[in-house]
Structure 1
Amino acid sequence: MPLPFLTADRPFEAADDVALPFDDREHWRRPYRPGPWRVAAAALCLLLASYVLFAAVVIALTGSVSEAGVIFAVSLLVIAAALRLLRMGVWVSSRGVRQVNFFVTRTVTWNRVVAVRTAQQPVRWMGLPRTVQGQALTVVRRDRASEGPLSLLTTHGADFLARPEAFDRAADSVEAWADEYRRP
């Protein structure tokens, strides 16, 4: 079963002449592949879900259907969490840029974007409260310019930890989308 949200639409090639090589630009797409940390965490969640599903079957065979239903529901929650974890990240289309977090999804249309730039700043390590010095791709919004930029991607996130070249490609790709569709 193909999972289109796991991969970028096509591999990055240095010889590409076109910054936005996609035919359907209305379709939301992630301009990078999910990192190994994110994929590993989702795989562990799915492994846990398989054990919980097996436990639900064993409980159902012992005769307690209501308890098996509860355990089955728990396994479905773990599967949904793993899929949401894989879906997290930055998505772009001709309509704007979308940041998908675990619980919240923010969409900023291109006409509300003032600037998209890479900045050297303290960033959160793997989404935890600890901060380290790194790079972040930030978006300055027209309606909330006084609040400061919104950080989209960081070099120390689950997708780009120890992969600086992947961060550079993803940041360049998002900046190319912004240059193409942002109105001054």
Structure 2
Amino acid sequence: MPLPFLTADRAFDAAAEDVALPFDDHDQWRRPYRPGPWRVAAAAMLLLLASFILLAATIIAAAGEIPGAAVCAGFGALVIASSLRLLRVGTWVSRHGVRRVGFFFTTTVPWGKAQALRTVQQPVRWLGLPRTVQGQALVLVRQGGETMPPLLTDHSADFLARGEAFERATDTVEAWSDEYGALATR
């Protein structure tokens, strides 16, 4: 089964250095980086937990407790859906704008409504936990001066201990902004 979210870095690695947007279809939403090992490990652990929950549901169903098995199977399905959503979390770009996908909420900003996109030094959350550390963040400022939460940080589950991947991802998002932000203002 092809996993398209894992092929993002390969496309950028295979592209020439002067090509900032290596994809042919710029209308499709794409993550300009590969999910980090922390994010993938957390999703794998959730899937492992789901397998035990579904095994328990099977044993409960074999014992004849169908309502309990249904509750257990429903909880297992919820854990599977959570692990898949965890893999979708991140920053996605297309010709239409930039999308910040969170676990519960998604925010989309069209390129025409973006005033500035820059990398700044600021306190960032470590692995999405409440603890903050000094780090870099890619920040989008909307027209009117409203600043969104950081699109990318170098201490997130995607980029912790992967500084080169963070630089490549921020450069790519900025290239999309330069390409389509200029077109939107015409």
Fold-level match, TM-score > 0.5? Answer: yes
Q: Tell me if structure 2 keeps the 8 A contact 1:140–1:150.
A: no
Does residue 173 (structure 1) correspond to residue 175 (structure 2)? The answer is no
- How far apart in 2 are the matches of 1:17 and 1:104? 34
Q: Percent sequence identity over matched residues?
A: 64
Residue 31 of structure 1: how far off its partner (Å)? 0.2
Output the aligned Cα RMSD. Answer: 1.4
8 A Cα contact 1:138 1:149, kept in partner: yes
The alignment status of 1:3 with 2:3, answered yes or no, reads yes
- Name 1:138's counterpart in structure 2: 139
Measure, in 1, the Cα distance between the counterparts of 2:147 and 2:43.
32
**Letter of the aligned partner of 2:67 in structure 1?**
S
Q: Which residue of 1 aligns with 2:147?
A: 148
TM-score by length of 1: 0.94
| Larger displacement relative to structure 2 (9-18 or 58-67) | 9-18
Counterpart CA distance in 2 for 1:122 and 1:64 is: 51
Structure 2 length-normalised TM: 0.93
Matched, 1:50 2:30: no
Deviation readout 1:73-112 (Å, 9 max, x if unpaired): 0000000000000010000000000011100001000000
For the residue of structure 2 that corresponds to 1:40, the secondary structure is helix
- 1:70 corresponds in structure 2 to 71
Q: Which runs of 5+ in 1 are unaligned?
A: none
Q: Is the 8 A contact 1:6 1:86 kept in 2?
A: no
Cα distance in 2 between the residues matched to 1:12 and 1:136: 23
Note if 1:124 corresponds to 2:125.
yes
Q: Cα deviation per residue 1:159-178 (whole Å; 9 max; x = unaligned)?
A: 00010000000000000000
Q: Is the 8 A contact 1:29 1:93 kept in 2?
A: yes
SS in 1 for 2:150: strand
For the pair 1:27 / 2:10, whether they are aligned, the reply is no
Distance 1:101 1:6 in 2: 18
For the structure 1 residues 3 and 134, does the alpha-carbon distance in structure 2 shift closer, same or farther, using more than 3 Å as the test?
same
Distance 2:119 2:110 in 1: 19
